[in-house]
Structure 1
Amino acid sequence: MLKFLSKVRIEFNALDPRAASCMEFLAQCHARNAKESNPTCQVQVNRRTDDSPPKITVTFVNGVEETFDANLTPAQDIRNSILEKGQYIEAEQMFREAGEKWPVDIPEEELRQPRGRGEEKPAKFNSLSANNPPKLTHDAYLKRLCKLGRLSDAISSLDSCGSTVRHSTLSHLIESCIDSNSLDLCYKLHASVKKLIKEPDPFIETKLVGMYAKCGSLDDAFVVFEGMRERNLYAWSAIIGACSREKRWGDVVELFYWMMADGDVVPDDFLFPKILQACGNSGDVETGRLIHGIVIKSGKTSELRVNNSILAVYAKCGWLSSARRFFEGMEVNDRVSWNAIITGYCQAGKINEAQRLFELMCEVGPQPDAITWNVLISSCNQLGKCDVAMKLMNEMESSGVKPDVFTWSSMILGFAQNNRRLEALKLFREMLLAGVEPNSVTLMSAISASSSMKDIRKGKEVHLIAIKMGCGQDVLVGNSLVDMYSKCGKLEAARKVFDMIPQKDVYTWNSLIGGYCQAGYCGIAHDLFKQMQESDVLPNVITWNVMITGYIQNGDEDQAMDLFHRMEKNGGVKRDTASWNALIAGYLHHGEKNKALGIFRQMQSFGVKPNAVTILSILPACANLVAFKKLKEIHCCVLRSNLESELSVANSLIDTYAKSGNLKYSEAIFDGLPSLDIVTWNTMTSGYVLHGCFNDAIDLFERMRKQDYRPNRSTYAWNVKLAIHAGEKLLELEPENAFIRRLVSQLYDVRGTSKDSSKIRRPGIRKDPTESPGWSWIEDKNIVHTFFSVDRHQLDVKALHSWIESIELKMKESKYHGNMLSIQEEEKEETAGVHSEKLALAYALIKLPHSLQPIRIVKNLRMCDHCHRTRGTLYRKLVLSEVSEASHGEAEIGIT
């Protein structure tokens, strides 16, 4: 047979029982070559480690190449292939060499008709017909129809072929059905096979199981499998492999127990890893331990692939001590072993131990690959350690491992989720410059970063890149785009993207409905809600909650309550805690505190446990002196729901008790917390300040600093309160001290209560003779006019007084409140009076109302923020020369 072949390539896994025929054929090939002094057929063997079926690829002497799924007799397949190509003489010789009868009835003249390699076959063989088949073997004829793309005709011809069709031909038809991915053809072929094969055949039934599974009908695969009288190892491998491909891990574990209950078959090296993978992904460590025991009893402890699967189960299920012992007891640790144990520690949040193992791997084990680096980088990002992840990424590149799309995606997603969105977008640009093509996860992360910042320009840039990459209609990218445009208020653009997504899921609908609700277009959102109910995608609990939130936030309480009640009755969706939270937050938004408390009580009566969001929403309603009983009621609910360990809830309780006048309760909660954060310290200290316990506040601040807590802006906010308290006490001692008045006035501005500063802004008597007043000079007709800061009652010139009042009225209408703490140098000027540059400016505008020349004013001190804002109301150009710099301004809003 080999004389008709120029090359044979055999691919198989030596551990796969299905490779027996391949190894037999390989032995025949070597035996044939050994007999020839100058072998003309080249034999190549590729040994694989995966579980794909064995294959044989042959190249005929005429250059034609064929590939066979060699599960039975490769020699027969090759002979049939030669036969169906019309090479009758060669095929006849091969059949006779094999000791088999020549099965083809062909006229003598046609058999003897010489035909060259490049010459076409007789015309009648180019027009095969299901009703008028040529006189070939049934097997060759059916395969020929399959290769011409006429699978339906081949299946139709099966009924007329009878039981002479070989199993290899039926296997070929089944593989053709898999390639066509047509369930209709699968059903048709299965019906014909039932007619041909009267007795159960495990081989064909196993093939049918694989056919249905690969064509997307695992339920039909189960029907065939359950109907089998005899289930051998191949049948179990087919159904378990199919469930594993579909990630139906629970079914894989159930099939394992069914298999063990039958008792006739024991898993092999192919099945053990599949079942263990299901145990790891479903968290079923008990089944994993059982399989570990079976592996030990069956003597397969030396199989590295099985050992790695056992290790992965312990690591994924969080049994790190067992995983570590097993890892250290393995005879050989390859890269998969190291990756499994490192991944386990990363998933458990023990990043430091994972890094120690990583360093040990670099020293004694195989060098880390991209998977190892990506596991560490992803874990650091998930734990919020983005800077550590960035450092690892740089080390990864330095070690010679190029960051791939998963590395970049992990970094971008990590920065975006940890509120470092600008850096996330910067990384996205660097990724593009590095020539790494983003995937849908990368694009989604970049779009989400733009959405969170409400940066429509950057979002559009990423959208354009997604279109260029061909991901514009990807559902993951599309959902992010709809969400981004909705949050940025571009609802028309969001709707266009929504309409372009071919396969919308529930998140697509929720993003657009949420966008319209947030913008106040609840009517349009409700229309979309109805369209969604009529589509193939049914609303989930998030959809209903979004609609409820939209209506109640926009003041339509009746419609919100109607949806809330219809949610379970008509929608078939069970209300969750977020549904109740939506109502509570809506009522609080409109100041309906009693209604919110009523919903909160009703929620508990229905047996729904509040979560941290519920408590954080309802507590502000009790932050007054008359709501102490309600506050204690909520505190009891917190204890019943085991939420007292939530730091955010504890902080809110401390704050609410302090504001309700019960500082002792705040202290008790503070002292009982096992761990504190900066918010806890700030809240308790603020409570002390609120109650006038300034010494206690200072002592607590010192305690906070000794425990290495870094103060933030909130910390300094109550420090300002302390400073104001000290300043007010000083003013009681020295009521006429202008310097203290200015300091206290500026502290009021810092706290945001500028209106209180007017109570103390009186210049009083200047006691410090060295304190320099504010002076301004302006030249008019070669005469220099001098102005200095005065109080309002000292303004004797009626015109100046009238102009200044009109300017201040205009500024008040624009809702401007001056910032009186601009610069230290300004503190030398009387803050409560009328500044000298304003007087000079008023004089210039009154004397020179129609002049086009710039107004030039010279001042000995720096200009304050209030006067800068006054300058902005003019149509005239102003040049103000100060001690250290010149300030130029052109008005945008004018007066006449």
Structure 2
Amino acid sequence: MAIMHRSFQSSPDAYANLIEMCAHDRRLKSGKLLHAHLIINGLARLTSLATKLITFYAECGQTSDARKLFDKIPKTNVHPWISITRAYTRRGNYQEAIDVFCEMQVEGLGVDRYLIPSILKACGHVLDQETGKKIHCLCLKKSFESDVFITTSLVDMYSKCGQVDKAKKVFDGMLDKDLVALNAVVSGYSQKGIAEEGLRLVEDMKLIGVKPDVVTWNTLLAGFSKKGDNLLVSKVFELMSYDGIEPDLVSWTSVISGLVQNFRYDEAFDTFKNMMKQGLYPSSATISSLLPACMNAVNLKRGKEVHGYAIVIGVVDDVYVKSALVDMYAKRGFISQAKTLFCKTSEKSIVTWNSMIFGYANHGYCEEAIQLFKQMEREGEKPDYLTFVAVLSACSHAGLVELGKSLFNLMQEKYDISPRLEHYACLVDLLGRAGKLDEAYDVIKTMPMKPDLFIWGALLGACRNHDNIDLAELAAKHLRELEPGSKGNNMLLANLYADIGSWGNVEKLKRW
């Protein structure tokens, strides 16, 4: 093989060029053979070649191999650190990239200006504004604020982290304001629910020659659609036309998605039809955005039509479309159809798994929900907090107390998921249904957050079923504080008083 030729043995530069060629062409097998050759010849630990190999493995998608190599080699300069960090950011392993960057700082290697945009991008994706702020401070100390790539990355990071005021402040300080930075600020405003601020900024920037593009307008459309502001959605369409920009598929999909999120299902279907009249055919994103509008009985027929249309245009195998279809059929109780689609989905996302588990749990197929959760674990899919809400709900309805408690602990110990109110509500409901009312109350007392209506409601319902008047009165008191105008909770307590023959308390509650 040419890469093993003896003439290369004394030429690290030639080896470096070969590694770059393997990386460029994604030739994993050839690159591994070259790596083995370098090891045999004692050259693999040369920092320059090792750095190239780290980049090679990253380009081939082998980030774990890149990290193993990084850990083995001496780090005599900043280049291996840059290579492994970029490897992580390119593959979407953002937290790992941030961790490596922090290690760099501990080692006293300073800040590389060419690496900062990648790390800021990682901070934005994982919403790590604390690390982002520290990097911002380092940039100010190093006088990097004039670097347009760095300042644009800072704007984007703050916007993604919901700190749109800070993003705007950095943007205002930019000497050369560009479209990328403008779009980042506009995105921040839209995510914050104040897209009108973004529109004002766009109009101001047009005056100084920064012209919005279709991405800018689509971001504003998404923001106004999410707020349900039809007037401003129409205005953005008009402004796009005035600027000579035709609304594209993303534009229409944004509007459809916003209408669905605001439960304006008929308008969503009308917009879908209008989009088709404009000669634009839906993408998988359009279909998956529209399907949640088909969850109720009235629109289920439409959902089946959209399903058929997805088959015709060839997007039915898209993971998001399949997940939305599984969710639609499962929520409406068509479990066999949901299961068929689920089983035919080769690339299942966490949304697909959750939709099926929820479908089973919500329609009484508790054992199936639990078995599917176990299958999910066996197949190496990492559950999220919603997965545990679904499986804990299944345990509650099936009366599987010990399994439910075990899963509650597993969520924290194995998957590092902190319990939310939904998880505590499931646990209280699980214990309450089983008659373990004191244990349920102990859970409430030890919660790290304030119990909500669902938690006290679960306890009150359990007290009614198990005739525990003392805890019922306590739960009712908290519910009255949280929901003063509700009559339903008093009715539950009154029924409990009636069950035990305490008619005086029933009359008292009627006068409440």
**Please, what TM-score do these two structures have when normalized by structure 2?**
0.79
Residue pairs, 1:629-644, within 5 angstroms: 633-634=474-475
Percent identity over paired residues: 28
Residue of structure 2 in register with 1:486 after alignment: 330
Output one character per residue of 1:223-265: Cα deviation in whole Å (capped at 9) or x when no partner: 3334443555554442222122123333333433444555566
Higher RCO (C-alpha 8 Å, min separation 6)? 2
Q: Structure 2 CA distance, aligned partners of 1:164 and 1:659?
A: 86
Q: Structure 2 stretches of 5 or more lacking a match?
A: 495-509
CA distance in 1, matches of 2:335, 2:277: 32
The 2-side partners of 1:473 and 1:308 are apart by 37
> 1:345 is aligned with what amino acid?
Y
Report the equivalent of 1:376: 220
Aligned ranges 1:465-504 → 2 under 5 Å: 465-504=309-348
Equivalent in the alignment of 1:407: 251
Measured after TM superposition, the shift of residue 215 of structure 1 is 1.8
CA distance in 1, matches of 2:170, 2:16: 46
2: CA distance between counterparts of 1:174 and 1:543?
43
Residue 417 (structure 1) shift: 1.6
Q: Distance in 2 between matches of 1:205 and 1:299?
A: 31
Q: Offset at 1:201?
A: 3.7
- Corresponding residue of 1:650: 483
Distance across 1 between alignment mates of 2:393 and 2:166: 48
The equivalent of 2:265 in structure 1 is: 421
**C-alpha distance 165-435 of structure 1, shift in aligned 2 (>3 A):** farther
Distance across 1 between alignment mates of 2:66 and 2:99: 15
2:40 is the alignment partner of 1:195: yes
In the TM superposition, what is the alpha-carbon distance from 1:192 to its structure 2 partner? 0.9
1:19-418 matches, within 5 Å, as 142=2, 158=4, 163=9, 167-168=13-14, 171-176=17-22, 179-180=25-26, 182=28, 185-196=30-41, 198=43, 200-229=45-74, 231-232=76-77, 234-260=79-105, 266-268=111-113, 270-296=114-140, 298-385=142-229, 388-418=232-262
**Which one of 450, 456, 460 corresponds to residue 294 of structure 2?**
450
- 1:465 counterpart letter in structure 2: Y
Query: Residues 236 and 454 from structure 1, CA distance in 2 versus in 1: closer, same or farther, beyond 3 angstroms?
Result: farther
- Cα deviation for residue 451 of structure 1 reads 2.3
User: What is the one-letter code of the residue matched to 1:380?
Assistant: F
Q: Is 1:561 aligned to residue 401 of structure 2?
A: yes
Question: For the residues of structure 2 that align with 1:531 and 1:322, how far apart are their CA atoms?
Answer: 45
Change (3 A) 1:474 1:603: same
The one-letter code matched in structure 2 to 1:440 is S
Aligned partners of 1:346 and 1:376 also within 8 Å: yes
| One-letter code aligned to 2:271 | L
Of 444, 450, 457 in structure 2, the residue corresponding to residue 604 of structure 1 is 444
Deviation per residue, 1:845-888 (Å, 9 max, x gap): xxxxxxxxxxxxxxxxxxxxxxxxxxxxxxxxxxxxxxxxxxxx
Unaligned stretches of 5+ in structure 1? 1-129, 131-141, 143-153, 662-689, 693-896
For residue 333 of structure 1, give the secondary structure of its aligned residue in structure 2. coil
What's the counterpart of residue 456 of structure 2? 615
Q: Secondary structure at the match of 1:449?
A: helix
Which residue in 2 is equivalent to 1:81? none
> What SS does the corresponding residue of 1:225 show, helix, strand or coil?
helix
Which residue in 2 is equivalent to 1:39?
A: none
| Alpha-carbon contact 1:377-1:410 (below 8 Å) kept | yes
Once residues 96 and 176 of structure 2 are traced to their aligned partners in structure 1, the CA distance between those partners, rounded to angstroms, is: 32
> Residue 275 and residue 564 in structure 1: after superposition, are their counterparts in 2 closer, same or farther (change >3 A)?
closer
Do the aligned partners of 1:486 and 1:511 also contact (CA within 8 Å) in 2? yes
Among residues 407, 413, 422, which one is paired with 1:578 in the alignment? 422
**How far did residue 501 of structure 1 move?**
0.7
Following superposition of structure 1 onto structure 2, how do residues 777-796 of structure 1 map, counting pairs within 5 Å? Answer: none
Distance 1:292 1:540 in 2: 32
What whole-Å deviation, never above 9, does each CA across 1:356-380 have from its counterpart, x for those lacking one?
A: 2233223334121122222222223
Question: Helix, strand or coil for the counterpart of 1:302?
Answer: coil
**What letter corresponds to residue 603 of structure 1 in structure 2?**
V
CA contact (8 A) 1:475 1:504 kept: yes
Distance verdict in 2 for CA 1:600–1:171, change over 3 Å: same
2:505 aligned partner: none
- Assess if the C-alpha contact under 8 Å between 2:460 and 2:471 holds in 1: no
Cα deviation, residue 432, structure 1: 3.2
Shift of 1:178: 5.6
Q: Separation in 2 of the partners of 1:539 and 1:319?
A: 29
Measured after TM superposition, the shift of residue 296 of structure 1 is: 4.5
Partner residue of 1:510?
Answer: 354
* Pair 1:454–1:204, CA change in 2 (3 A): farther
CA-to-aligned-CA distance 1:507-564 (integer Å, 9 cap, x gap)? 33333343344444445555545544544446666456535545755xx54xx33532
Report the secondary structure of 1:407's partner residue.
helix
Distance 1:216 1:366 in 2: 37
CA–CA separation in structure 2 for the residues paired with 1:485 and 1:393 = 34
Q: Please tell me the residue identity of whatever aligns with 1:650.
A: E
The answer to whether the 8 A contact 1:454-1:488 is kept is no
Distance 1:344 1:483, change over 3 A: closer
Q: Quick one: which amino acid aligns to residue 332 of structure 1?
A: D
Q: Is the 8 A contact 2:460 2:476 kept in 1?
A: no
Deviation at 1:320, TM superposition (A): 4.5
Q: 1:654 to 1:596 in 2, by over 3 A?
A: farther
Instruction: Name the amino acid aligned to 1:309.
Output: S
**What CA distance in whole angstroms lies between the structure 2 residues aligned with 1:349 and 1:164?**
62
Q: In the TM superposition, what whole-angstrom CA distance separates every residue of 1:573-603 from its partner, at most 9, and x where no partner exists? A: 7876435534666899xxx7x9496564143
- 8 Å Cα contact 1:616-1:652 kept in structure 2: no
**3-state DSSP of counterpart to 1:484:** helix
Number of positions where the alignment pairs a residue of Structure 1 with one of Structure 2:
490
Structure-2 change in CA distance of 1:660 and 1:206 (3 Å): closer
Q: CA deviation at 1:331?
A: 1.9
Shift of the alpha carbon at 1:336? 2.0
Letter in 1 for 2:50: E
Q: Distance in 2 between matches of 1:226 and 1:539?
A: 29
Is this contact kept in 1: 2:125–2:160, CA < 8 A? yes
Q: What is the distance in 2 between the residues matched to 1:376 and 1:342?
A: 7
- Going from structure 1 to structure 2, the CA distance change for 1:539 and 1:213 (only over 3 Å counts) comes to closer
User: Structure 2 vs 1, CA of residues 618 and 395 (structure 1 numbering), >3 Å: closer, same or farther?
Assistant: farther
Query: Structure 1-normalised TM-score?
Result: 0.48
Asked whether the 8 Å contact 1:222–1:239 carries over to 2, the reply is: yes
Distance (whole Å) between structure 1 residues aligned to residue 394 and residue 337 of structure 2: 20
Q: Which amino acid aligns with 1:561?
A: V
Q: Distance in 1 between matches of 2:259 and 2:437?
A: 38
Question: Within 2, Cα distance between the matches of 1:465 and 1:476?
Answer: 15
Whether contact under 8 Å (1:495, 1:512) holds in the other structure is yes
Structure 1 residue 456: Cα displacement: 3.2
CA RMSD of aligned residues (A): 4.1
Distance in 2 between residues matched to 1:510 and 1:264, nearest whole Å: 44
- Quote the Cα distance in structure 1 between the aligned partners of 2:154 and 2:296: 42
Q: CA deviation at 1:479?
A: 1.4
Cα distance, 1:486–1:261 mapped onto 2, change above 3 Å? closer
Mapped contact 2:401–2:431 kept (Cα < 8 A): no
Q: 2:83 & 2:390 partners in 1: Cα distance?
A: 44
Is contact 2:217–2:240 with CA below 8 Å preserved after alignment? yes
Kindly indicate which of the two structures has a greater share of residues assigned to helix: 2
SS in structure 2 at match of 1:483:
helix
